Structure formats: structure tokens, C-alpha cells
Amino acid sequence: MLKRCNALCHMQIETTYRAVFDSEWDLGAVRGAIESARHVVLVAHQNADGDAVGSVLGMWHLLRAAFHETPVQITAMLPDGVPMDLDWLPGAEHILSGKTQYDACSKATAEADLVVLLDLNTVERTGVLAELLSKSGARQLLIDHHERSADDRCEALCVVEPHISSTCELVYWLMQRVFGDSIFGREAATCLYTGICTDTGTFSYSNDRQSVYLAAAALLRFGIDPMAINREIKNVFTEERLRFFGHAMDSLLTVYREQEVALMVIPAKEMETYGVESADLTGLINEVMKLRAVDCGILIREEKDRVRLSLRSKMRYDVNQLARELFPVGGGHVRAAGATSHQSLHETVKTVKQKLGLALAAICMMLCISCNNVPVVETGTTEGKDLTENLINANRYISQGEETSIDSYASRRGWQMTVLPCGARVMMTEEGKGEPVAYDETVVINYRVENLGGGVIYGNTEDTVVAGRLEPTRGLDAALLTMRHGDRAWVIVPSELAYGVVGDGDRIGTRTVLVYDVRVAESVVKRVEK
């Protein structure tokens, strides 16, 4: 029988924290630039994530330690300030916001003799601070882990390592080599470890080199609490943010199984409706990548004067190359990249779909619909009668599935609906006192559109339409011709009577059943002259 040992076992691990990188860094030049400075400005990109905030704050703490005997001013700033889910990081209250403290940022930039650019490969990514930085006569030190284009002439002193996990990891290795361990403390280590975790999905991607684990282990020596950091990173949802994530997954996501691509399109109005901002979308693309059938995930969000894209991949797609080919301001890593489009949201989505052939995929989805009894052969090898038969069979089964889903939806809500000859369903909720809507009559309608999951596709909208001529929403058109002015009704429109297999190129995805809450205005506008 084995005897139980009550003695406590103590384990000691001795290791040398070293890593070999592809690039040679001019450590002497870096040290010289830092030690000769009297006012240092630290800045990262707009819509800052954990790596951006962590690297700025990590450098802020490290430089304060390095200059503890020298009167040097150190100013940290971010274009949009610190996002709420990272305001717990030590020192976050000292970061200036370009949006709310622009004058202070302007003054600091004008006085600086060294600007340290972190986690960005172009000054354009600093948003409202870009003009200030471009006009600054200060020397620049760029520390980044994103690839730079071959024709990019960087006038800054560059420390760039594209194959490293994060800028925070790069800051650790660089500053450790330049100044040694003496400048590191718990606060700096906490910031850097946070950035490493967020940019690797807590070591689930961008971690194919041992340097990231060595850096994480080295930072543990300075008294950080990895479990507390992990809790802070993950448990950051407000109710609004959580509800929006659910809405986005339910209503704004389209999966193209043929291409193994998931596309999520987020209009600005959707964020306004749920009370969330761009910073609240951090991590949403990672939720999309949990889909087994998806190799490439693309999140497209509309901002005030631009459209931003976040791209992720598992194995098949090089999203760094894809981002660069899509838009001039794009790039990153093979598995994680970003891009900026100055097209409209609709045109941006169209560009992405054309690049990936997703318009074709939408049609192919009819043939690949997951219905075991549908006889389907591989697309591309089918023609003539076989192809026609496949399309007819697939469409029949899809329609049957939609009918079942619509019936179940109406039953759960206790709706007694009238089925129109075309297949659309109508249930009046308010009776108006006006005349019946006539064919060719121009009317004003107020409506809201949902899907069968209850997700809002389009919020309260007013539109002027010609009854009897609505395309492609033939189902809604048929319902309007059954209503009077002042009537309000629930209308359920099967996908084949709406936007079918291609969607509307914006918020309505492939094969989406639409649920309208529609009201016809009391007053008559006019009738179309024949």
C-alpha cells in the first residue's frame, strides 16, 4: 500500500527568459532616443483594444520607472480614450482622450521631443490625433507587430516584429533588453500581460511561437494575478452589450457554407438602438469564429465617416492578404487583420461579397440546404434537367420548412392570421377609418421589420410606396392591398416573397422570413397617373 506523504512539495523552476526574433533591433538607438527625451508622448490606434491600451500603459509605467531620477514628462493618449472594459488597468485614469481632451493632446504633442507609436502601422489609424502627430517635429519610435507594406517608407525608428503575438509582448522583450528587469513592476506587467491575453484570445491563437509563453511566464515574476486579469477581461458585459451580441448573432450574421465564410454587417443605427458603441463590439468576431463550419469571419461595422472591418481565420484564409486586397488601409496578420473602407456600408459589403464570391454562394446554399431528403449533386457538375430538378426540390423543402417555422411563430404568439393567396400572412392590430388602399396609390407607411427570432432588422422607418408595385417585397405589397388608411397589422412574409436567396445586401440575409409591424398613414398621398 502506498503511504500518503503529508509533506508539502515546493517546486522551483529556473529558466532564462530569452527569445530569438526574425529582425535585428537597434537597441542602442532605442535607448538613446528614450534617454535623450524630456517629454515623451505615447499613443496607439483608435478604437483601442487590450493590446493598444496595454502597450500604452505598460510603456507609461516602464518609462516612469526608467526616468525615476530624471525630470521627464510622459503623456499617454488614445484617440477615443480608454474603453470601459479596460478602465480597470492600473494607470488608465492618466490616459488623455483625443475626443474629450483634444486641447491637452495638442499641447502635449507640440511640446514632445519623442512620440512613441504603439500597435499601429500608420499614423492614419490614430483618428482625431493623426493631424497633430503628422505636424509634430518630435522624433518617432514605432513599436508594432503588424506587417508593413513593401513600399512603406517609415521615417520613425522602427521596432517591428510581425510574427510576434502582440505589441505588448514586443514591448516586454524590447524594454527588457534595453533596460533590464529593474524597471518592471506589477503595474507594468499587469498591463502587458492583459494585452498578450486579449490579442491571443487567452493563448488560443497568434501563439505559435514559444516567445509568447516565455514572456507570459516572465511577467508572472512581477506579482501579477493571472486569474484576476482573466476575470476582468471576460466579465465586462453590460446588459446592453450582451443583448446586442445576441441580436447580432441572431439577425446580423450570414453564413456561407460553401466558402466557409461568416459575414456580420452592423449598421450604425443598430448600435444606436441598443445603446452600444464600437468599443463594445470587442470580442464579437471571436464569437463568430466559434462556428465549426466557418474558417473566415468578417465583421463589418458602420462608423460616422468610415466603415471598419475585422477579419479572422483559422486555417484556409490569409486575412492579412485579403484585407490588403480589399482596401488600401488594411492588413495585420495571417489569422487576424483589419481594414478601413471609405465606401458606404452597402458598397463595402458588395465589395467584400464580390471578392469572396459570396453572391454565388447565396444561390448555392439552396442546393446545399441541410435537409437530408433533398437529392442534390455537387454544384458545378450539374446542368440542364438535373440542375432544374435540384433547384425545384430544394426550393420545395425550404418553403415547407419556412411554412412550419411561420406557423410555429404565429402559434407561440397566439396570432390568428389570414393567409393571403400569395402565401403572406396578415393580422390586423388596429383598425383605421380611412378608405381601402387602392392599386397604384402612393401611400405613406410606418414599419418595423424583425426576423422569426425576434431580432430587429430595421427599426421604426417611414417610407412612401406605390401600392401594387412594391418590389421585391411582393408579400408586403399584397398585404397593403388588404388594408385601409389608418390600419396597423402584423405581416409575415416568406423569403421567396421578399429578398429570397440573395438578401438585400445590407441587413437582410439569405432566405430570411420577414415579420412586419406596419401601419398605413391616415391621409392619401396620390394615385399614379396612367
Grid coordinates in use for 77? 493618449
Q: Which of 384, 390, 344, 338 is nearest to 366 (CA)?
A: 390
pLDDT the model gives residue 11: 47
499 vs 116, residue with greater confidence: 116
Confirm whether 365 is domain-assigned. Answer: no
State which of 356, 381, 407 marks the end of a domain.
356
Share of the chain above pLDDT 90, in %: 51
Q: Are 274 and 240 in contact (CB under 8 A)?
A: yes
| Same-domain check for residues 201 and 295 | no
Q: State how many domains the chain has.
A: 3
| Same-domain check for residues 92 and 205 | yes
Confirm whether 12 is domain-assigned. Answer: no
State which of 187, 202, 234 marks the end of a domain.
234
Q: What is the CATH number of the domain that holds 255?
A: 3.10.310.30
- Rounded average pLDDT over 330-352: 86
Confirm whether 35 is domain-assigned. Answer: yes
Q: Which of 422, 397, 419, 399 is nearest to 410 (CA)?
A: 419
pLDDT in tens, 349-403: 999 998 888 754 444 444 444 444 444 444 444 445 554 555 555 555 556 668 8
pLDDT at 495 over 70: yes
| Same-domain check for residues 72 and 106 | yes
pLDDT in tens, 140-190: 999 998 876 555 556 788 999 888 899 999 999 999 999 999 999 999 999
pLDDT at 337 over 60: yes
Kindly state the DSSP code that residue 97 receives in the 8-state scheme: E
Q: Is 106 left (phi over 0), alpha (psi -120 to 50) or beta?
A: alpha
- Model confidence pTM above 0.75: no
DSSP H helical ranges for 21-70 = 27-35, 50-66
CA dist list (Å): 375 to 366, 393, 454? 12, 7, 32
pLDDT the model gives residue 373: 44
pLDDT at 333 over 80: no
Q: What is the CATH number of the domain that holds 150?
A: 3.90.1640.10
The pLDDT-based confidence of 109 (bands split at 50, 70, 90) is very high
List the domain range (segments joined by +) for residue 309: 239-356
pLDDT the model gives residue 366: 42
| Same-domain check for residues 300 and 431 | no
User: Which sign, positive or negative, has the C-alpha torsion 374, 378, 380, 381?
Assistant: negative
Rounded to the nearest 5 percent, the helix, strand and coil shares of the chain are 40, 20, 40
pLDDT in tens, 231-243: 998 887 889 999 9
| Same-domain check for residues 307 and 193 | no
pLDDT in tens, 21-78: 656 778 999 999 999 999 999 999 988 999 999 999 999 999 999 998 888 999 999 9
- Rounded average pLDDT over 480-490: 94
| Same-domain check for residues 278 and 175 | no
Confirm whether 392 is domain-assigned. Answer: no
State which of 310, 327, 356 marks the end of a domain.
356
Angle at the Cα of 60 from the Cα atoms of 56 and 64, rounded to 5 degrees: 170
pLDDT at 10 over 80: no
Q: What is the CATH number of the domain that holds 518?
A: 3.10.50.40
| Same-domain check for residues 252 and 198 | no
pLDDT the model gives residue 524: 64
Confirm whether 383 is domain-assigned. Answer: no
